[in-house]
Amino acid sequence: MASAAGVRQVVSDVLGEFDLTLGLTGHTSVAELTPEVLRRVG
């Protein structure tokens, strides 16, 4: 059960980071992300 809780925590953290990133870029929803606002890194 510890591994399931760990996975839940990681998914929660990733979603939180994504939500923060959306907010920092001035977007409030995934629907607002178009090819024009995205760029490939790397």
Domain coordinates in residue numbering, the chain? 2-32
CA pair distance 6, 18, nearest whole angstrom: 18
What pLDDT was estimated at residue 23?
A: 95
| pLDDT (mean) for 9-15 | 97
Report yes or no on whether pTM surpasses 0.75.
no
> Residue 39: is its pLDDT beyond 90?
no
Q: What are 17-31's pLDDT values in tens digits?
A: 999 999 999 999 999
CA pair distance 23, 41, nearest whole angstrom: 19
Q: What is the mean pLDDT of the chain?
A: 92
